Amino acid sequence: MPTPAAATAFPNLFSPITIGGVTVRNRILSSGHDTVMAVGGLVTDRLIAYQEARARGGAGLIVIQVAGVHPTARYTSHELTADTDATTPGYTALAAAIHRHGAKVFGQLFHGGREIMDTEDGTLAVAWAPSAVPTERFHVIPRAMTESLVREILDGFGASARRLEVAGLDGVEVVASHGYLPSQFLNPRTNRRADGWGGDEARRLRFLREALAACRATTRPGFVVGLRISVGEESPDGLTEEEALAALRTLDGENAFDYVSVVRGTSATLAGSDHIVPPAPIAAGYTAPRAAGVRAAVRVPVLVAGRITQPQDAELILAAGSADMCVMTRALICDPELPAKAAEGRLDDIRACIGCNQACIGHFHANYPISCVQFPEAGREREFPRHGEPGRAKHAPADTPRDVLVIGGGPAGLKAAAVAAERGHRVTLVEADRRVGGQVRLAQLLPGRHEIGGAITNLEAEARRAGVAIVTGVRADAAYVRASGAQAVVVATGATPYTPPMEVVGSPRIVQAWDAIRDASAVPQGRVVVADFRSDWLGLGVATLLAGRGCQVTLAVTGNMAGQRCQQYVRDQMTAAARRAHVTILPTTRLFGADESAVYLQDVLTEEAVVIEDAVALVLAQGHVPADALLLELEADAARDGSYAVLAAGDVQSPRTMEEAVLEGLRAGVAV
């Protein structure tokens, strides 16, 4: 039941809703998203623990990740399946775990058609689709389906729906979104058949109609059958908004589904796929107008996704009548207890998603179980169990509270301090700068990256709520540590910019990227070279920043592309911004040297010289080195008498990313 605070602030968000024969306690939805936690197509204990945490936190409805309905539906090596009876026990345990906490659960039924990413042994699979139309993103040319295969797959939708019903789920969702198989049949540009499955609008709709009908026919009345669809695939050959609406009107008139889940984008192209998990700076709730169009066209509840990260945004969408439920998937990865906190009116306690995409969809693309940069407990629920009432869960208390000193107020230090204090330790965090935040404070100044600063807002708030005493403007040393009486010290002093050896003639203007970001006067206007060793967000971001200040920028990256180390959707957005700012990008190019009028580069493959003439400045984005002098000093000091323990977290060990820093901070906070 919603609390009085929720009823006042969020009257729509915390009202129940009936979908088909199922009543859901609120309008907060975790949509289907691949967790990379299935093994051999089966539900695992890790997946159950992950989804149970979101149910415990108060989500109303959880839609499980896509499940293949046929052997030809294996679009990735870690796909969940529902096409054999061996899958049923896992779903039964999963449904029971979610139901224990009052949430409802649907399954997604899936066939990707021509959209295939990888296989278990690395060989290329045979891709099947309505017609032999290539997919640009994965460079796959599929084989046209035979009619007998079409029938088999449709039977697979029905049989899979039946298995999920038997397992105790409350409904299923047919995935016709993002250019997957049902969409490929709907789309006249990907369905070029002239038989009973294509050739005109009615025959192109037939596959989706029969997939939904198969789910209805094999399950009991009241079992929910829903549909997920992209209302505009944002791609030159994608399904259009008008085509999707026409299909929905027809199917709604036939009572083919109990709800529609509205998304945008397609898996088939780079730009279209960015909408699958839209990163910052795409606007919050940007799909709501499309959902409003669907809601005007159909009689069933409409669900909407698209960067809905805060309960306030969800409430506005619902109050405007744009949708009936809001998909808050990444928000619930970042903070599984968001619903419980919002219901109590504790909005400042919510850990807001920053749209970085690094550990959620980024892990999925790298074939690793998903997590969250800010909340590495996500996906690791069995390794880091939390206890207590929903909205107030904590790590297990320490056996013996200790005096803990954390040195460094970046992401690693803040997380270590927050977790240690939450466990009952007496924690002081000391930061040499006047403000906490470390490199994140620089990252938030780059174009399109302002939301990343929310990670520090969240981490600092968590530390203060846990009782951490934060001291700024003090540079700790061994004497300070001794005087503090700390029994354990976590060193999280981060890293400093690296200057590589290079040939320098005269006095060229050479500026570290950090300084270029901080000070607009550090880099004069004119031709500027940004030398990017890591091929990550820093080089791309500072190049676009300088272009916006009026410089003519060449970005030289050692990798095959700018932003190579970034998650694809983030890289796409940042690369597009750089190109719009007229940044020239040179791939596979390393820094060699500079003089007062030119920057000298070298092709990393051919070792040929590349010279940028008339350069007024060279900006270094050459990586970082650990700021580990204090760590080494404290380790030596502690070794002399063992009066305190020393742990390290983050870049002080090895410069990497915020993800590793926060995870190591978590582990340090649990270890002290």
Query: Given a cut of 70, is residue 5 above it in pLDDT?
Result: no
Q: If you average pLDDT over residues 50-67, what whole number do you get?
A: 98
Beta bridge partners of 132: none
CA-wise closest residue to 466 among 428, 432, 499, 411? 428
Phi, psi of 203 (to 5 degrees): -75, -30
Cβ neighbours of residue 40 under 8 Å, at least 6 residues apart? none
How much is the pLDDT for 641?
Answer: 87
Name residue 220's amino acid.
Answer: R
How many C-beta atoms lie closer than 10 Å to residue 604's C-beta? 14
- For tokens 């932003």, the residue is 563
338, HSE (Cβ side, Cα atoms, 13 Å): 29
- Model confidence band, residue 7 (pLDDT cutoffs 50, 70, 90): low
Question: Which tens digit of pLDDT belongs to each residue from 549-605?
Answer: 999 999 999 999 999 999 999 999 999 999 999 999 999 999 999 999 999 999 999
> Is cis: bond before 281, omega within 30 of 0?
yes
Query: Given a cut of 80, is residue 156 above it in pLDDT?
Result: yes
Name residue 461's amino acid.
Answer: A
CA 98 – CA 120 distance, rounded (Å): 29
User: Quick check: 516 and 545 in contact, CB under 8 A?
Assistant: yes
How much is the pLDDT for 1?
Answer: 52
How much is the pLDDT for 2?
Answer: 65
Cβ neighbours of residue 639 under 8 Å, at least 6 residues apart? none
CA-wise closest residue to 169 among 112, 220, 211, 110? 220
Q: If you average pLDDT over residues 12-23, what whole number do you get?
A: 98
Query: Given a cut of 60, is residue 150 above it in pLDDT?
Result: yes
Options 3.40.50.720, 3.40.50.300, 3.20.20.140, 3.30.160.270; CATH of 395-496+626-671: 3.40.50.720
Question: Which tens digit of pLDDT belongs to each residue from 350-364?
Answer: 999 999 999 999 999
Residue 105: strand, helix, or coil: strand
CA angle 437, 442, 446 (to 5 degrees): 140
CA 669 – CA 666 distance, rounded (Å): 5
Name residue 332's amino acid.
Answer: L
How much is the pLDDT for 10?
Answer: 97
CA angle 46, 49, 53 (to 5 degrees): 145
In percent, how much of the chain has pLDDT > 70? 99
- Between the CA of residue 435 and those of 348, 408, 438, 470, what are the distances in Å? 20, 11, 8, 10
First-to-last alpha carbon distance for the chain, in angstroms, is: 38
* Active-site annotation holds for 180: yes
- For tokens 């090596």, the residue is 77
- Between the CA of residue 26 and those of 10, 233, 337, what are the distances in Å? 10, 29, 14
How much is the pLDDT for 255?
Answer: 98
Name residue 460's amino acid.
Answer: E
Question: Which tens digit of pLDDT belongs to each residue from 504-527?
Answer: 999 999 999 999 999 999 999 999
Q: Give residue 94's Cα distance to chain centre.
A: 23
Query: Given a cut of 60, is residue 462 above it in pLDDT?
Result: yes
Classify the phi-psi angles of 180: left when phi > 0, otherwise alpha if psi is within -120 to 50, otherwise beta. beta
- For tokens 């990865």, the residue is 333
CA-wise closest residue to 9 among 311, 288, 309? 311
Question: Which tens digit of pLDDT belongs to each residue from 269-291?
Answer: 999 999 999 999 999 999 999 99
- Between the CA of residue 30 and those of 126, 285, 324, what are the distances in Å? 32, 15, 14
- How is residue 39 annotated by DSSP? B
How many C-beta atoms lie closer than 10 Å to residue 237's C-beta? 18
Q: If you average pLDDT over residues 33-43, what whole number do you get?
A: 97
* Identified catalytic residue from 75, 91, 180, 600: 180
Query: Given a cut of 80, is residue 58 above it in pLDDT?
Result: yes
What is the crossing angle of helices 147-166 and 201-218, to 10°? 30
Residue 93: strand, helix, or coil: helix
Tokens of 275: 């909408």
CA-wise closest residue to 418 among 407, 432, 429? 429
Question: What's the whole-model pTM score?
Answer: 0.96
Phi, psi of 649 (to 5 degrees): -150, 140
Q: Give residue 358's Cα distance to chain centre.
A: 6
CATH topology of domain 499-622: FAD/NAD(P)-binding domain (3.50.50)
- Model confidence band, residue 371 (pLDDT cutoffs 50, 70, 90): very high
Domain positions in the chain are 4-386, 395-496+626-671, 499-622
Question: Which tens digit of pLDDT belongs to each residue from 410-428?
Answer: 999 999 999 999 999 999 9
CATH superfamily of 4-386: Aldolase class I (3.20.20.70)
**Average pLDDT, rounded, for the chain:** 97
How much is the pLDDT for 8?
Answer: 77
Query: Given a cut of 90, is residue 6 above it in pLDDT?
Result: no
Question: Which tens digit of pLDDT belongs to each residue from 86-127?
Answer: 999 999 999 999 999 999 999 999 999 999 998 888 898 999
How much is the pLDDT for 119?
Answer: 86
User: Quick check: 214 and 158 in contact, CB under 8 A?
Assistant: yes
How much is the pLDDT for 499?
Answer: 98
How many C-beta atoms lie closer than 10 Å to residue 77's C-beta? 15
**Alpha helices (H) along 335-410:** 338-343, 361-365
